[in-house]
Structure formats: C-alpha cells, structure tokens
C-alpha cells in the first residue's frame, strides 16, 4: 500500500517525457484527482457561505424555487444523449492510434451536434417555460415569487443550454491527460460565481439576477477555457463546419445511446429509494434515509473524483494495447478504493448515529440496521466504480445496459415488500441485494473477461520509466 502511494507521489512531482505514455497517463490521473478534491473543497466552502446568505436573502419560498430549478436541470443532464461520454472514447481511441485528423473530425462533429441540442433546448425553453412554472410551483404565496419564477426558469434553461456545446472542451483536455487544467478552470468559475452572488445580494437583485449570478460567470469561465484550448493550446482541434462528418456523427450517436441508457438506469436506481419510502412509509421517513445516504456518500468521494481522469487514460491504454499498464492501474485503483472506503465506512458504522444526531437532529437518526446496510452499499459502490470506469472507457457497454435495466426492475420489486416489513432498512437492503445479484456479479465477470482477453493479445506499448504498480 505504501509502495503504491510512493510511486504515485514520484509521478506527481516528477516529469514525464512526451513519448512515455504510461507515465503521462499516471501523472494525469493523479493530478486530475488532486485538483478534483481541491475543487470539491472549494465548492463545499462556497456552499457553506452562500446557502445561509441566499436563504436569508430570498426567504424560504423563493429559495425553494431556486433549489427546485437546480434539481430540474440535473435531470436534463441526459439531453446530451450520451454523446459527451461517446466523444471521450472516440477521442481516446483516435489519439491512441495516432489518428489526429480523425480526432479533429470527432470534435467538430460533436460540437455541432451539441449546438443543435442547444438550439432545441432554447426553443423549447422559450415555448414551455411559462407553462412549466405553474406546474412546478402551483401554490406560490408571494406575488414577488410568482412574478420572478418564469424569468428565473427561462434564464436557468438558457445558461444550461449555452454550456452544452462547451462540453467538448473538457473532453479535449481529458484526452491530453490535462483534467487538472479543467478542474482549475472550474474552481475559478466557482469562485467567480460566489462573488457574483454576493454582488447580487448587495445590490438587492431579484431571483432572476441570482440565477445569472450563480451560473453566468461559470459560463463565461467555460468560454474562456474553450478560447484558450482551441485558440492557443490545440488550435488544430478547433471546431470547424468543414470538419463535420456525418459518418463520425452517426458513430457518436450509435455509442451515445448506450451511455444514455446506462446513465438513465443509474439515476432510476439511485432515486427510486426515496420515492418508495415516501409512498409506503411516509414522507417523514425520507429524512433519515436521505441524510444517512448523504453522510455515507463521503466513503466513495475519492472514487467519483478520480473517475474523470482515469477514463481517458484507460481508453488510450486500451487503444495502444498497453494492457500491462491497465492491469497494474486497475489493481492499484481497486486496492486504494476498497481500503479508503472501508476506513470511512467502518468509522461511520461506529459513529454514524451520533454524527447524524449532532448534524441534523434526532428526527434524522436512522436505525442501526440502516447504517450497516448503507455501509455495505458504499463498499460495493467503491469497487463498482472502479470496474465500471474500466468497462466504460474500453467501450464494453452492452452488459451494463442489460444488467442495469434488470437491476432497476429488481430493485423496486425487492424494496417495496422489504420496506413494508423492515422499514427504511428494508429499502436499502433491497437495493444492495438487487445490485449484488443483477449488476455487481455480471460487471466483475465482464471485467475478468476483458482482463483475460487482454493477456491473449500480443504486442502493446513498451513505455519507459517507472509506473505505479501493485
């Protein structure tokens, strides 16, 4: 364990030659993860600063509008139709095989597909925002809230849509193992949004201005990042209409729909528990479950933050047939993920109830059985993230689309009767059992198959220099 950490630290502080693909990948993963942790920390600090300020400034009703709009936009993340993830794999494969011209066509094609999606969302927002507002918020009491809700929703959709074409920027940075730069730009955007929110509050701006303040400067930061990436750093990848290729676009869409299904099924699996609890146990029981879920999510924080950096590294290594690096990195990642999650989960199983009692009050404290099942769930997630990252990056998607869909059905089928018998502990137990039977075992079986087949393929990149091992 210590040897692994020492080797990763050496990579972080050292330098890698441009031809040393393995060292470049490992360095990119480490720096991307570290800056992602820093970004999460900055985001947490900004949240701690802005939440009480905005609640106090807007009041409960208008603040609720703001949060509801943010939740709605989270569901709209599927409107890229999985093309962003499809682009990650396409670029990694193209660069891994030295096809830089093909990579440029992928960037241009994805960019203009995103522009079409952006235009569609803008038109839909203009047409439906006035009708969505009374559906989402039928019982607004304040005349000010009723006056502000439609323009706030429209502006939020506008800013969301304008960010979609800029998704290509982070994918270009990722394929060059420069996720750390994307994270630093993201930190700059978060800080800029903080100052914008403070300015709006100081100037007594309304909810629409607060929407602009919370997202507008982030959009400008993303534009600045794109200008740097395509204007100075990699101008040969700049999106051009002449670079749009219908065959390339079809390829992106053909793979993208699989990512769309995987993402949709994952959201269904993660969001249905609260719905089951509210329906069969009452809304009051959602609180202890949701709070416990949020507390235990810290056990898999490292895995989720490392994911964006590992994905393009695996894709490039797979394209270059550098299977030795893939196996060593997978084993190292698995060990670190399990050990880090085990430490956090063990601590939370012992001290979770008093922590929740202190943080959220007595009404949010769950039964001890819920704590234990939540710990098992997060240990499974910690290792499942490692496996799914490898399969996503190497394009082995069919199995996950099938097993994920079966898991979603089985999860609901188990959670409802178990909830009636065991309460909220039965709900998380149903989720764990469903994932273990229908998703966890098939996923690792497929990883085993990928690793075995890679041993039978001769050749591969021979990279100089030290790289992290087990």
- pLDDT tens, position by position, 385-401: 999 999 999 989 888 88
The more confident residue out of 424 and 73 is 424
Average pLDDT (20-37) is 85
Q: For residue 59, name the pLDDT band (cuts at 50, 70, 90).
A: confident
If you search the block for the tokens 């290509």, which residue do you land on?
A: 168
The pLDDT value recorded for residue 2 is 52
pLDDT at 6: 55
What is the mean predicted confidence (pLDDT) over 42-56?
81
| Sign of the Cα pseudo-torsion (61, 67, 71, 76, in order) | positive
Q: Is pLDDT above 60 for 8?
A: no
Q: Indicate if the pLDDT at residue 61 is higher than 80.
A: no
Q: What pLDDT does residue 10 have?
A: 55
Q: Give the pLDDT score at 364.
A: 85
Dist CA 355 CA 370 (whole Å)? 15
Residue 57 has a pLDDT of 80
Residues 6+ apart with CB under 8 A from 54: 63, 66, 197, 201, 210
- pLDDT, one tens digit per residue, over 407-463 is 989 999 999 999 999 999 999 999 999 999 999 999 999 999 888 876 655 544 433
Domain boundaries, the chain: 35-244, 259-459
Answer yes or no: is pLDDT of 118 > 80: yes
pLDDT value of residue 336? 92
Mean pLDDT computed over 79-106: 90
| pLDDT at res. 366 | 92
Average model confidence (pLDDT) for the chain? Answer: 86
Give the percent of the chain with pLDDT over 90: 45
Tokens of 86: 């499809």
Question: Any idea which residue has 């200008």 for tokens?
Answer: 227
**Alpha helices, DSSP H only, in 97-178?**
100-136, 143-163, 167-175
Positive or negative, the CA dihedral 278, 282, 285, 287 is positive
Please tell me the predicted confidence (pLDDT) of residue 25.
Answer: 85
Q: What is the pLDDT of residue 466?
A: 34
- The rounded distance, in Å, linking the Cα atoms of 54 and 210 is 9
Burial class of residue 343 in the structure, from the number of CB atoms within 10 Å of its CB (0-12 exposed, 13-18 middle, 19+ buried): exposed
What are the tokens at 252? 């992106």
pLDDT, tens digit, 9 for 90 and up, residues 210-266: 888 888 888 999 999 999 999 999 999 999 999 999 999 999 999 999 998 888 888
How many CA atoms, within 13 angstroms, populate the side-chain half-sphere of residue 467?
A: 24
Cα 315 from Cα 52, distance rounded (Å): 42
Residues contacting 397, CB < 8 A, separation 6+:
255, 258, 259, 262, 391
Q: Are residues 426 and 420 in contact, defined by beta-carbon separation less than 8 angstroms?
A: yes
The whole-angstrom separation of Cα 389 and Cα 296 is: 21
Q: Is the pLDDT of residue 380 over 70?
A: yes
Q: Which residue has the tokens 């300015």?
A: 199
DSSP class per residue in 224-239: HHHHHIIIII-GGG--
Mean pLDDT of 52-72: 78
Q: Which of 141-145, 177-181, 276-280, 439-443 has the lowest average pLDDT?
A: 141-145
In the numeric block, the tokens 């040393």 are attached to 20
Question: What tens digit of pLDDT does each residue of 165-190 get?
Answer: 999 999 999 999 899 999 999 999 88
pLDDT band per the 50, 70, 90 thresholds, residue 287 = confident
H-helix or E-strand containing 36? helix 21-75
- Burial letters 362-397, b for 16+ CB under 10 A, else e: eebbbeeebbbbbbbbbbbbbbbbbbbbbbbbbbbb
Place of tokens 């890679």: 454
Nearest to 163 by CA among 112, 105, 223, 206: 223
Residue 87 has a pLDDT of 94
Mean pLDDT in residue range 152-164: 92
Looking at residue 116, its pLDDT comes to 95
Per-residue model confidence (pLDDT) at position 284: 78
State the pLDDT confidence band at 464, using cuts at 50, 70 and 90: very low
Contact between residue 144 and residue 60 where contact means Cβ atoms under 8 Å apart: no
CA torsion, points 413, 442, 255, 115, in degrees to nearest 10?
50
Query: What is the reported pLDDT for 3?
Result: 56
The per-residue pLDDT for 7 is: 54
Nearest CA-CA partner of 374 in 442, 426, 422, 307: 426
Neighbours of 358 (CB within 10 A): 10
Which among 385, 377, 378 has a CA at the least distance from the CA of 430? 377
Nearest Cα residue to 465 out of 40, 19, 6: 19
Find the mean pLDDT for residues 292-319.
89
């Amino acid at each position: 364990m210590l040897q692994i950490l020492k080797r990763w630290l050496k990579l972080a502080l050292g330098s890698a030659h441009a031809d040393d693909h393995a060292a470049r990948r490992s360095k990119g993963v480490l720096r991307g993860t570290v800056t992602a942790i820093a970004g999460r920390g900055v985001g947490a600090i900004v949240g701690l600063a802005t939440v009480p300020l905005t609640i106090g400034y807007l009041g409960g009703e208008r603040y609720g509008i703001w949060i509801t709009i943010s939740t709605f936009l989270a569901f709209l993340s599927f409107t890229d139709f999985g093309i962003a993830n499809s682009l990650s794999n396409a670029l990694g494969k193209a660069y891994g095989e030295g096809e830089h011209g093909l990579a440029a066509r992928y960037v241009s094609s994805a960019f203009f597909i995103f522009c079409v999606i952006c235009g569609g969302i803008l038109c839909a927002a203009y047409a439906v925002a006035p009708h969505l507002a009374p559906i989402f918020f039928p019982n607004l009491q304040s005349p000010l809230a009723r006056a502000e809700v439609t323009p706030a929703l429209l502006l939020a959709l506008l800013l969301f849509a304008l960010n979609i074409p800029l998704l290509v920027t982070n994918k270009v940075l990722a394929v060059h193992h420069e996720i750390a730069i994307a994270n630093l730009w993201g930190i700059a955007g978060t800080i800029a949004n903080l100052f914008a929110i403070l300015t709006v509050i100081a100037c007594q701006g309304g909810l629409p201005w607060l929407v602009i303040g919370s997202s507008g400067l982030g959009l400008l930061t993303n534009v600045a990042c794109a200008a740097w990436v395509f204007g100075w750093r990699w101008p040969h990848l700049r999106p051009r209409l002449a670079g749009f290729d219908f065959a390339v676009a079809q390829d992106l869409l053909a793979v993208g729909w699989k990512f769309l299904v995987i993402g949709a099924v994952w959201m269904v699996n993660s969001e249905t528990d609260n719905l089951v609890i509210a329906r069969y146990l009452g809304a009051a029981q959602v609180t202890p479950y949701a709070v416990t879920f949020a507390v235990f999510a810290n056990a898999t924080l490292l895995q989720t933050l490392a994911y964006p950096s590992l994905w393009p590294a695996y894709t490039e290594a797979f394209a270059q047939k550098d299977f030795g690096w893939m196996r060593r990195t997978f084993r190292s990642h698995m060990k670190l993920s399990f050990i880090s999650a085990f430490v956090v989960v063990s601590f939370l199983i012992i001290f979770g109830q008093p922590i929740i009692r202190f943080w959220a009050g007595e009404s949010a404290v769950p039964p001890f059985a819920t704590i234990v099942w939540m710990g098992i769930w997060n240990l499974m997630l910690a290792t499942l993230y490692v496996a799914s990252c490898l399969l996503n990056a190497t394009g082995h998607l069919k199995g996950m689309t099938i097993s994920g869909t079966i898991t979603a059905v089985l999860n609901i089928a188990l959670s409802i009767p178990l909830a009636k018998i065991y309460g909220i502990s039965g709900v998380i137990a149903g989720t764990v059992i469903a994932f273990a039977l229908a998703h966890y075992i098939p996923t690792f079986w497929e990883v085993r198959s990928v690793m075995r087949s890679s041993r039978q393929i001769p050749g591969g990149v021979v990279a100089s220099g030290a790289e992290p091992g087990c």
